[in-house]
Amino acid sequence: MAVRRRPQRGHRFTESPVLQLALQGWRSRTVGLVLMGAFLLLVGRGFYLQVINNDFLQEKGDSRYRRDIEVSASRGKIVDRNGDMLAVSTPMKSIWAIPGDARTMTAAQKKQLSALLEMSVRELDGKIASEKTFTFVKRQLPPETADRIAALKLPGIHQELEYRRYYPTGDMTAHIVGFTGVDDKGLEGVELAFQQSLLGHPGSRTVIRDRRGSIVEDVGATKPPQDGKDVRLALDSKIQYLAYSNLKAAVESNNAKAGGAIVIDTRSGEILALVNWPTYNPNNRHGLSGAQLRNRALTDTFEPGSVMKPFTAALALDKGKVRFDTIINCAPGHLTIGNATISDAHPHGALTVAQVIQKSSNVGTAKIALGFQPREMWEMFDAVGFGQAPNLGFPGEVNGRLRPWKTWKPIEQATMSYGHGIAVSLVQLARAYTVFARDGELLPLSLTRLDDAPVRGINVFSPQTVREIRAMLEMAVQPEGTAPKARVAGYRVGGKTGTAYKVEGGVYAKKYVASFVGIAPISEPRLVVAVMIDEPSNGAHFGGDVAGPAFSQIMSGALRTMGIPSDAPVQVVAAAPGKEAL
């Protein structure tokens, strides 16, 4: 038997033919490359997602944690000159519902909610029965109630922040302050005139919220909210109240249709009070009529009547046509120009210029006026601000009516000298009287408080003329004048009455507008007060009887409020019977 010898050189392990076959290099390299390729793919994908096309993931992340929130801004306050609130916004909550979700409330929850909302369950059911996806359940709820509702965590019930405007002074300042509509939009008065500066601009910020909803970081740009600026009016709410209550009393006691009153500080041209009657409550504006809403003092014109006479006299003095004591023959109490006749309410004889004003003689004033060129008179009326809006920036200010002088006929020139055939607003009238309070200078008026040095006006009359006119105005409130009831105890006052027929449909009706405009203290004028009563129908209709007492009350209250020292020896104010006016 042959024994197969093992080969001499035994195989070593590595020499195993199986192993010798070995792994060909390409295979391992292939696997390596594939793995490497896969890695590269991942890196590439990662790079793509993180660097090149990262918007999508960023968006997803942001949608989970990042929130844009609006930061609300409140509307500016309106305050009076001393900082008393006239209009202020306060946050309120509105409760709204997603009706579908809200219907899942249990009966007990509905009961709780309706109790807090002060409505019946049935009413609440009615609100959420709608098929819409949004419905207001109740608007303008006090924040405390809203917080209690939020604590109930009711399904489908949500809240929203709103602001509500309050007017603490109510009807007293309604016309001047005005009011806002929805969305903080000013609709009337100062709220409208100063809309731009009162309006707040909400800010925004982008934040990251954590799981529990609290803000952990500000990211991106934040825009701070801009609260509306406060408006500080020139109004003094105390004087406003005096004017309001006395005007109201005067309108009611004279059974008049309407009325207006203005108080102006003659040092600065600031309007300290401006009231109208009838008025309204801006906090509750249901069923308002146009008559209540009208700011008559600014938007209505009337033929002023005799309150215009001092301007005619001042022009005559200024031009040197007459002197203080020039005698004018007013007999026999009427004067015919062309085919028209003008007359005095009570015939007078010969009067000095000063007495013409004191006794309010139409004939005397017309005689003075006929000595002017129409143009001279027009220029004077224009210079004291008639025929042009007073430029307060207030909505609805009117120009009044002052016809061009070229069209004037002599009779018109005569009637205009005593305030007929010319229409003005009460504000224009009051402003024009600042000329007599300020040595001949016409001031621009201001609704807002002025803290700067007193403004300069335009000179209309010479200081000497104005001093003489002031003396005449003071004479008018003496017992011999037309308005003894306008006197103020302790102060020297001066003023002029006006009793004018109203124009209705182009003709003079037997209805009157009684007015009084005056200044005080005469020794150093500080205030102009103008009062107008529309259609007094309780017997008296003369300016001195109707508007005079209201003037006296408002003026004395305002002088006292402002702490202006008295300049007159105290006398007893005689309740003399009303003198002739017109």
Partner 1 sequence: MVRFNMILLLIVVVCALGVVTSQHRARKLFQDLEGEQERARQLDVEFGQLQLELSTWATHPRIEQIARDRLHMLLPDARPVVTPAAVKPAANRMGH
Output helix, strand, coil percentages for the chain, rounded to the nearest 5: 40, 25, 40
CB of 138 within 8 A of CB of 151? Answer: no
Query: Does the protein bind partner 1 through residue 570 (CB under 8 A)?
Result: yes
Closest CA to 175 of 191, 164, 195: 191
Contacts of 6 (CB under 8 A, 6+ apart): none
Tell which one of 70, 118, 160, 218 touches partner 1 (CB under 8 A).
218
Binding segment for partner 1 (CB under 8 A), chosen from 1-9, 89-97, 373-381, 399-407, is 89-97
Query: Does the protein bind partner 1 through residue 341 (CB under 8 A)?
Result: no
Exposed, middle or buried by CB within 10 Å (0-12, 13-18, 19+), for 155? middle
C-alpha 190: how far from its chain's center? 1
238 versus 420: smaller Cβ distance to partner 1: 238
82 versus 537: smaller Cβ distance to partner 1: 82
166 versus 501: smaller Cβ distance to partner 1: 166
Binding segment for partner 1 (CB under 8 A), chosen from 37-45, 98-106, 375-383, 556-564, is 556-564
Tell which one of 305, 395, 419, 490 touches partner 1 (CB under 8 A).
490
E strand or H helix at 510 = strand 507-520
Computed from CA positions of residues 315, 318, 321, 325, in that sequence, does the dihedral angle turn out positive or negative? positive
Asked if 306 is an active-site residue, the reply is yes
Tell me the closest approach of the beta carbon of residue 452 to partner 1, in angstroms.
12
Tell which one of 28, 50, 90, 197 touches partner 1 (CB under 8 A).
90
Tell which one of 65, 241, 324, 408 touches partner 1 (CB under 8 A).
241
Contacts of 364 (CB under 8 A, 6+ apart): 328, 330, 348, 351, 353, 355, 356
46 to 34, 43, 62, 395: CA distances (angstroms): 18, 5, 19, 64
Binding segment for partner 1 (CB under 8 A), chosen from 56-64, 237-245, 303-311, 544-552, is 237-245
Tell me the closest approach of the beta carbon of residue 240 to partner 1, in angstroms.
8
Q: What is the DSSP letter of 103?
A: T
Query: Does the protein bind partner 1 through residue 524 (CB under 8 A)?
Result: no
Strands 78-79 and 85-97: antiparallel
Residues 104-143 that bind partner 1 (CB under 8 A): 143
Q: What is the DSSP letter of 82?
A: T
116 versus 564: smaller Cβ distance to partner 1: 564
Tell me the closest approach of the beta carbon of residue 384 to partner 1, in angstroms.
27
20 versus 214: smaller Cβ distance to partner 1: 214
Residues 29-88 that bind partner 1 (CB under 8 A): 74, 81-85, 88
Query: Does the protein bind partner 1 through residue 562 (CB under 8 A)?
Result: yes
200 versus 490: smaller Cβ distance to partner 1: 490
Query: Does the protein bind partner 1 through residue 216 (CB under 8 A)?
Result: yes
CB of 318 within 8 A of CB of 462? Answer: yes
Could you write out the three-class secondary structure of 371-408?
CCCHHHHHHHHHHCCCCCCCCCCCCCCCCCECCCHHHC
Q: Using alpha carbons only, give the angle 561, 563, 565 rounded to the nearest 5 degrees.
A: 135
4 versus 211: smaller Cβ distance to partner 1: 211
CB of 533 within 8 A of CB of 259? Answer: yes
Residues 491-510 that bind partner 1 (CB under 8 A): none
Query: Does the protein bind partner 1 through residue 566 (CB under 8 A)?
Result: yes
348 to 473, 513, 539: CA distances (angstroms): 19, 23, 24
236 versus 344: smaller Cβ distance to partner 1: 236
Contacts of 259 (CB under 8 A, 6+ apart): 247, 250, 251, 276, 277, 296, 531, 532, 533, 534, 550
Residues 145-174 that bind partner 1 (CB under 8 A): 166, 168-170, 172
Catalytic site residue from 114, 237, 306, 556: 306
User: Which residues participate in catalysis according to the annotation?
Assistant: 306
Which residues of the shown chain bind partner 1 in the complex (CB under 8 A)? 74, 81-85, 88-91, 143, 166, 168-170, 172, 210, 214-218, 236-238, 241, 245, 489-490, 556, 560, 562-566, 570
